């Protein structure tokens, strides 16, 4: 059998709905990601991450007691986080603009709207594999660069509210 | 304007990557191969029946939720997430309209119009239970509901 490139990857699915967990697992299996663990909320996922390496995380947004945003912030910012750089794909039906912005600002790598298709899931994985994002660390944020295209030598304008707070305006 | 103070950009080469370049090249071929597409299509097809059953279960729970708007939203959210994958396009469209209405009203801190919610709940239930859905009828109902919601949301926002 020809190697798929994915066989050594370990994935973590964080999702409270059993049907969605099963669907995501089956889709990951089709690209030969077989080493998959599941968690039903963010707190359980944090514990799983401490116990076992995960190279790719797929997470829902709305879960209790800890949702996908808090989970993502924890992964990116907690000093005990085993891998703050791990790619995180947020998969959710909450596609309203403010939810997407919250996800971006929490530090997700990719956002995928439900209803999911295999094509859309694979395109997000493709982005992660083929075009890994730079990370940005500043006073108010740590996570993938929220600008999708990097321009060498770019010096502004900086438009985000939190950028403005830190900005040295001359 | 200059770069934010203390902002550090960490290039992809400077942190551990998902896989080696050789594996990444193989992975891209895998993602775009016809064999992967065929396997994924089979997975999506196999999901249709169990998801339809799940949606009908969520519909029952949504109807039983009555005036508990938090629970109604929870079930509507599940329905909109799965309906299209289960081939229930109209069900998904109406659920999407209702979920957005409920989310928008919560965002602007305005009370929900329970008649609007009840109308959508009824439309979702009818569409989900209609084997094969009546597409033309479904589209017309979804369009009317979307117009109604836009008008009520506009009123609530003072537009």
Among residues A79, A39, A46, the alpha carbon closest in space to that of A60 is found at A39
Q: Band of the pLDDT at A60, cuts 50, 70, 90? A: very high
A85–B9 CB contact, under 8 Å: no
B27–A85 CB contact, under 8 Å: no
Does A41 score more than 80 pLDDT? yes
In this predicted model, what pLDDT tens digit does every residue of A106-145 receive, in sequence order?
A: 999 999 999 999 999 999 999 999 999 999 999 899 999 9
Tell me, yes or no, whether A54 lies in a domain: yes
pLDDT for residue A170: 29
Predicted TM-score (pTM) of the model is: 0.85
CA distance A96 to chain B (A): 7
Q: Which residue has the higher pLDDT, B15 or A159?
A: B15
Tell me, yes or no, whether A2 lies in a domain: no
Give CA separation, B2 vs A156, A164, A168, in Å: 6, 10, 6
Tell me, yes or no, whether A42 lies in a domain: yes
Tell me, yes or no, whether A169 lies in a domain: no
Residue ranges of domains in chain B? 49-156
In this predicted model, what pLDDT tens digit does every residue of A146-155 receive, in sequence order?
A: 886 545 555 5
Among residues A151, A146, A83, A158, the alpha carbon closest in space to that of A111 is found at A146
Question: What's the rounded Cα separation, in Å, for the pair A41 and A61?
Answer: 9
Tell me, yes or no, whether A70 lies in a domain: yes
Tell me, yes or no, whether A108 lies in a domain: yes
Q: Is B109 on the interface with A (CB under 8 A)?
A: no
B83 vs A contacts (CB less than 8 Å): 115
Give yes or no for a contact between A150 and A157, defined as CB atoms under 8 angstroms apart: no
Question: Which residue among B18, B39, B81 sits closest to A128, beta carbon to beta carbon?
Answer: B18
Q: Band of the pLDDT at A164, cuts 50, 70, 90? A: very low
Contacts of B136 (CB under 8 A, 6+ apart): none
In this predicted model, what pLDDT tens digit does every residue of A77-99 receive, in sequence order?
A: 999 999 999 999 999 988 888 88
Burial zone of B139 (CB within 10 Å; 0-12 exposed, 13-18 middle, 19+ buried): middle
- Containing domain of residue A86, as a range? 10-134
Q: Is the ipTM of this complex over 0.85?
A: no
Q: Is B88 on the interface with A (CB under 8 A)?
A: no
Instruction: Return the CATH number at A61.
Output: 3.40.50.2300
Positions of chain B with pLDDT under 50? 1
Q: Is B53 on the interface with A (CB under 8 A)?
A: no
Tell me, yes or no, whether A15 lies in a domain: yes
Give CA separation, A22 vs A17, A39, B17, in Å: 9, 12, 27
Q: Is B18 on the interface with A (CB under 8 A)?
A: yes
How many structural domains compose chain A? 1
pLDDT for residue B132: 63
């Amino acid at each position: 059998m020809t190697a798929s490139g994915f066989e050594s990857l370990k994935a973590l699915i964080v999702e409270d709905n059993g049907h969605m967990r099963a669907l995501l697992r089956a889709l990951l299996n089709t690209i030969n990601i077989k080493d998959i663990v599941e968690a039903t909320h963010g707190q359980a996922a944090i514990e799983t991450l401490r116990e076992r390496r995960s190279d790719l995380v797929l997470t829902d947004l709305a879960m209790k007691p800890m949702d996908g945003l808090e989970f993502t912030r924890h992964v990116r910012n907690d000093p005990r986080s085993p891998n703050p750089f791990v790619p995180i794909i947020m998969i959710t039906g909450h596609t309203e603009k403010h939810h997407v912005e919250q996800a971006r600002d929490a530090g997700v790598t990719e956002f995928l709207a439900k209803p999911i298709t295999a094509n859309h899931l694979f395109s997000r994985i493709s982005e992660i594999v083929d075009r890994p994002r730079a990370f940005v660390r500043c006073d108010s944020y740590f996570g993938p660069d929220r600008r999708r295209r990097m321009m060498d030598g770019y010096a502004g304008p900086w438009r985000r509210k939190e950028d403005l707070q830190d900005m040295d305006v001359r | 304007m200059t770069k934010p103070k203390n902002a550090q950009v960490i290039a992809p080469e400077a942190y551990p990557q998902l896989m080696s370049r050789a594996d990444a090249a193989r992975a891209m071929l895998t993602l775009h191969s016809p064999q992967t597409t065929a396997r994924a299509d089979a997975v999506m097809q196999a999901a249709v029946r169990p998801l339809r059953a799940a949606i009908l279960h969520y519909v029952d729970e949504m109807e039983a939720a009555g005036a508990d708007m938090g629970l109604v939203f929870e079930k509507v959210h599940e329905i909109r997430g799965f309906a299209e994958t289960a081939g229930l396009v109209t069900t998904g469209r109406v659920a999407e309209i209702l979920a957005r209405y409920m989310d928008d009203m919560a965002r602007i801190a305005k009370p929900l119009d329970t008649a609007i919610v009840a109308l959508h709940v009824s439309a979702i239930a009818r569409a989900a239970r209609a084997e094969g859905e009546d597409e033309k009828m479904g589209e017309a109902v979804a369009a009317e509901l979307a117009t109604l919601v836009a008008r009520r949301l506009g009123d609530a926002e003072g537009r």
